A and B are shown apart, each in its own frame.
Chain A
């Protein structure tokens, strides 16, 4: 069975600093996808970044990068130059096949202060 673990219930960072949000996963499938979503206080789920299990390079999307360490089964999200608007809940998630469930971690609340 697949499992996603986010061990940091809350993280605090100063504006303009970088922050890493941890995510580890467990699966026996060789082919899978890893995702990060942002959920601001307004409640919507915003896609941030995707990493495929066969991708050779770590994914990057603007200020977001995914530190993918396959052997350690970790997929940490790195946010560079934090902004106040980054304050939100962040969810790591994975899936192994189209049309199947996206399994979410419990989330990490990020608070960015000025």
Chain B
């Protein structure tokens, strides 16, 4: 079965540094997402991306965050100046819904970001 690929699996960075988390969604998918999960807490939506633009974003997705699809395969999340509270598991997901609400999201295995 096709899968969403995320790299790196672990990222350690210093507070204030920029990080880029990378994802390769499933090739025929049209919608791309980033979610995050702080340890022991629920999965939180960050942003969705469709047709080369952000279609929805949450309150968490402030000016420190940006997303990009630089080529036909990669989808990246950039955190411009990391804070301690950005430490979390970041999941990329993609979907290709044929029915509006039947949106099975395929998740990557996540990038564990640790900000020191």
Residues of A within 8 A of B (CB): 31-33, 35, 37, 42-47, 50, 52-53, 91, 93, 95-107
Contacts and interface: CB of A to CB of B under 8 A. Distances in A.
Contact of A99 (B31, B35, B104, B109): B31
Contacts of B42: 91, 104-107
Interface stretch (B13-21, B50-58, B69-77, B78-86): B50-58
A98 B93 CA distance: 13
A98 B31 contact: yes
Contact of B43 (A42, A91, A97, A100): A91
What band does the interface of chain B fall in when counting residues whose beta carbon is under 8 Å from A? 20 to 34
Given A45-B107, A107-B42, A99 B101 contact: no
Interface string B83-112: 000000101010101011111111111101
Contact of A33 (B41, B93, B103): B103
Given A99-B48, A102-B45, A52 B58 contact: no
Contact of B48 (A44, A45, A100, A106): A100
A102 B104 CA distance: 10
9 contacts: A33-B101, A33-B103, A50-B104, A91-B42, A98-B101, A99-B55, A100-B48, A106-B41, A107-B42
Given A43-B89, A91-B42, A106-B42, A100 B107 contact: no
B104 A35 contact: yes
Contacts, number: 76
Contact of A52 (B56, B101, B108): B101
Contact of A101 (B58, B99, B109, B112): B58
Contacts of A42: 109
B48 A101 contact: yes
A47 B2 CA distance: 13
Nearest to B42: A106
Contact of B101 (A31, A43, A45, A103): A31
